[in-house]
Amino acid sequence: MSATNIDGVIDQLQDIIDQCMAQGSRLGYFAALYKRMTMAVRDAIRAGVFDDAARMEALDVTFANRYLDTRTQYLAGELHGQSWLQAYEAATTDRYTILQHLLIGINPHIMIDLGVAAARTCPGAALAGLQQDFNKINGIILGLMPVIDAELDRLSPTTALLDHTIGPLKDKLINRGLDEGRASSWAFASQLAVMDLGQQSIAIGHRDAEALVIAEMLKNDPIAHLIKRRESDDVRENLRVLCQAAATA
């Protein structure tokens, strides 16, 4: 069932985390990260960070429901989006690092779902009024990165070593990637906002193909192979670490 408010999104994400914890499923990695980000957006809404709190909650709920719907479709064998299907199938193997699982899940959600959610929350000319609040999301995500980095360091000695040696460069690349991802999502939203649903469906299909290529690059990262060799393989413990801050926030 689709969530109707941001607290409902958080509750559904917690249900997914609980299920994944019980099953030892790597699908919980993305859900844990997503819950943390959603809680941060909720707190920012309540703190008056955004120009239009009601509009931002509507965007967040529409955005999250697209992810929640993919899970329902995947479990029913009805998921057609190739980049999302790729993310779910990646979670069935122990080949990838925790960070790869997170990035492979973030990929279609930012590449496709964020633009779709923005365009459908504020269609047509209304989209322009959303841009300033849309841009503020980057700052919220960046504020979470030090905590997420520390948790990944705890689970992966090689990641910790890399952070110690090239941390500033990595942070710069993350900031650049977030800026480029936000700009790309906004451009996609601007494209969709003036289309009817049929036209949107075609554009989403093209975007899905692009996201699929990016995910293949993420899956074949040569450095990730080195990280994986020393990373924790205990899925339930990994989930506990990733959920700690979100559970106590």
Task: Look at the block and give the residue holding tokens 């710069």.
Answer: 172
Cβ atoms of 155 and 56 closer than 8 Å:
no
Going by the DSSP 8-state scheme, the letter that residue 76 receives in this structure is T
Amino acid in the structure at residue 2: S
- 64-89: per-residue pLDDT in tens? 999 999 999 999 999 989 999 999 99
Res 32 pLDDT > 80? yes
pTM of the model: 0.89
Q: How confident is the model at residue 30 (pLDDT cuts 50, 70, 90)?
A: very high
Residue count (the chain): 249
Neighbours of 98 (CB within 10 A): 26
- 11-24: per-residue pLDDT in tens? 999 999 999 999 99
Distance CA 155, CA 35 (A): 19
Res 247 pLDDT > 60? no
Range of the domain at 109: 6-248
- 110-156: per-residue pLDDT in tens? 999 999 999 999 999 999 999 999 999 878 887 777 777 777 777 77
Question: What's the domain count of the chain?
Answer: 1
Asked if residue 125 belongs to a domain, the reply is yes
Asked if residue 235 belongs to a domain, the reply is yes
Asked if residue 184 belongs to a domain, the reply is yes
Structure tokens at 121: 């929350």
Asked if residue 1 belongs to a domain, the reply is no
